[in-house]
A and B are shown apart, each in its own frame.
Chain A
Amino acid sequence: MACSIKKVFTKEELKKHDGSNGSAYVAFGGKVYDVSQSFHWRKGIHQVMHHAGCDLTEALGRAPHGSDMLDKFPVVGELMDSD
């Protein structure tokens, strides 16, 4: 039986994917998404004030769109719960 094991990211590891090296990851709801190919995340920045390499769970609650916008992007891992 095939079993896919997702990488577990710490917040520090997630920060490394801030778009500056071409790799832009964001976290939402415990999942880590690869948004590197998104027009809306060029250079790891979205709508001027949101940055890749961060957990956007709280910020997305204030966004003019739902979390379904992330569904089109591959999930590359899970964010380690820091609590």
Chain B
Amino acid sequence: MAKVAREMVERAGVNVDELLELLVNNAAAELTTYYYYTILRVNLIGLDGETIKEIAETARIEDRNHFEAIVPRIYELGGRLPESMVDFHNCSACPPASLPKDPTDVKAMLTVLVEAERCAVRGYTNICNLTAGKDHRTYDLAQAILNEEVEHESWFSEFLGEGPSGHFLRRGDTSPFVSKFLK
């Protein structure tokens, strides 16, 4: 634990225990989403499915990166991950991104994907709001993740016909915002 780092956050008025629970719940959401997206990606086949497979894969890898980036901050602040993977799954901040009943229904697949991203966007916006000007390191981390989650949402939203995302797919490396926390 980084004692002074935690003390600074507490003295800034943040309830660190509540923040830690939020971070654990969001770390759980990232890792479980990585798992569920694996199943979605495998089932994105055929002419329509293949069209979105690549962005689903990018989102899947970046969600795993988010998990990896959050975990050190949890321990720095004196928190820890649950010992049981089952407990970890069940405390997820977001619902399971389960495979739709008809996996060939690409619109249903996209709806699952975009709802998962929207849950994440709300969750990290909440953490940013709670830590802004108080816990600079958690804010920086949450904001970096938020940047990527917003892009994921816009990719899937674009395919659902909700309007253009305004940007292109990743070219090369994943996690352009979060990678600084992974080095």
Contacts and interface: CB of A to CB of B under 8 A. Distances in A.
**What class of interface size applies to chain A in its complex with B?**
under 10
Contact of B129 (A39, A40, A48, A62): A62
B162 to A, nearest CB: 16
B129 A47 contact: no
B104 interface: no
Nearest to B126: A64
B18 A64 contact: no
Chain B contact residues: over half helix, strand or loop, or mixed?
helix
Interface residues of B, number: 13
B25 A48 contact: yes
B21 interface: yes
A65 interface: yes
A49 interface: yes
B38 interface: no
Interface of B: 15, 18, 21-22, 25, 93, 95, 121-123, 125-126, 129
Interface of A: 39-40, 47-49, 62-65
